[in-house]
Amino acid sequence: MGKGTAYTDATQKSFLIEVLIRAVDMNILLIAGILLIIVVSKINKGLVFVWQNITLFRWIGYLLGFHALVSSVINYVEKQASDTFVGNPFDYRGMIAAIFVLMVAEIFAIGLRMKEEQDLTV
């Protein structure tokens, strides 16, 4: 930068690191959204209890959990940088959403096992 600017190399690097972390975080959500669209399209086609849906639900849950951790780290760093930040930096809502999706995946797995057992007995 030129003479008399308020930016230093350290602030530019920290800004770039924050932007890269936020970009990774947004890509995580984008991938989770795409996987959710795939699951919904399969369910609309009548393929509800298949192992691929369960795997996709589990991946969505893992991605949402990773998103919650990354956003918690971002919030924690912002809290350390700012004295006016009020609240808890941990993203409880994201972690609850991840746990809920993983529970749905397990419910689907139980339903699929029950369906397979019923198909074998008939």
Return d(Cα 5, Cα 50) in angstroms, integer: 59
Q: Which amino acid is at 118?
A: Q
Question: If we measure between CA atoms, which residue out of 80, 85, 42, 34 comes closest to residue 59?
Answer: 34
Closest C-alpha among 113, 101, 122 to residue 29: 101
Instruction: Give pLDDT tens digits along the chain (122 positions).
Output: 555 555 667 677 778 888 888 999 999 999 999 999 999 999 999 998 899 999 999 999 999 999 999 988 888 877 776 666 566 778 889 999 999 999 999 999 999 999 899 888 86
**What pTM does this model have?**
0.81
Say if residues 28 and 65 touch (Cβ distance below 8 Å).
Answer: no
Question: Per-domain residue ranges for the chain?
Answer: 12-121
